[in-house]
Amino acid sequence: MFVHLENVPRFYKNYVKLVEETDILQALRISGERMMEVLASLTEAQQDHRYAEGKWSIRELLCHIIDAERIFAYRALRFARKDQTPLAGWEENDYAPEANAEGRSLSHIIGEMKRLRQSTIDLFEGFSPEMLDRKGIANNNEISVAALGFVIAGHEIHHRNILTERYLTHSATL
């Protein structure tokens, strides 16, 4: 199922634009596989690298991706089940320092990401076409279950690009 950009809240359009696949499950699988390929090249010595002062470490960035995927998948579950309760937004910069990134090894975080993506794929595999069309309100914006699937994939692609373009180009000497 393809989602039209006019049906995606403004804040998420740039994420969805990064997704080349028109099938949600393929988009989730491919973005996850490509992220795992990049993460396989990381070493423990790189886990606390920041490409600039005040930016998240690699571990913090990965924990952010995990938090976002869980939140978006939870929203999709609620809306797919016809829960019309408006859902609050979340502030990524408040979540990041509370993720205990420095208390977890890079390998543990990567394993968690892999398991989470499989769980997200399992969730979306269970949605019927009717469920994928359902909508709800999150952070004062209407969004469909399908759009949330593409947001998950696009958000990961966005951060994978940042990881390769900003973090890994500057940490090549590590």
Convert the pLDDT of each residue in 88-105 to its tens digit: 999 999 999 999 999 999
Tokens describing residue 43: 């070493």
Q: Is residue 4 over pLDDT 80?
A: no
Q: What is the CATH number of the domain that holds 61?
A: 1.20.120.450
Cα–Cα distance, 59 to 61 (Å, whole number): 5
pLDDT band at 171 (very low <50, low <70, confident <90, very high): low
Residue, of 10 and 112, whose pLDDT is higher: 112
Interatomic CA distance for residues 128 and 34, integer angstroms: 26
Express each pLDDT in 14-70 by its tens digit.
Answer: 999 999 999 999 999 999 999 999 999 999 999 999 999 999 999 999 999 999 999
| Domain count for the chain | 1
Q: What DSSP assignment string belongs to 124-148?
A: HHT--HHHHH-EEEETTEEEEHHHH
C-alpha 108/C-alpha 121 separation (Å) is 20
pTM for this predicted structure: 0.94
Please give the pLDDT value at position 7. Answer: 78
Please check the confidence at residue 173 and state whether its pLDDT lies above 70. no
Cα(67)–Cα(70) distance, integer angstroms: 5
How far, in Å, CA of 89 to CA of 137, rounded?
Answer: 10
CA distances from 162 to 4, 61, 82, 133, 151 (A): 25, 10, 35, 31, 16
Is residue 87 scored above 60 in pLDDT? Answer: yes
Of the two residues 5 and 125, the one the predictor is more confident about is 125
**CB–CB of 90/71 below 8 Å?**
yes
Q: Tell me which residue range forms the domain holding 109.
A: 5-170
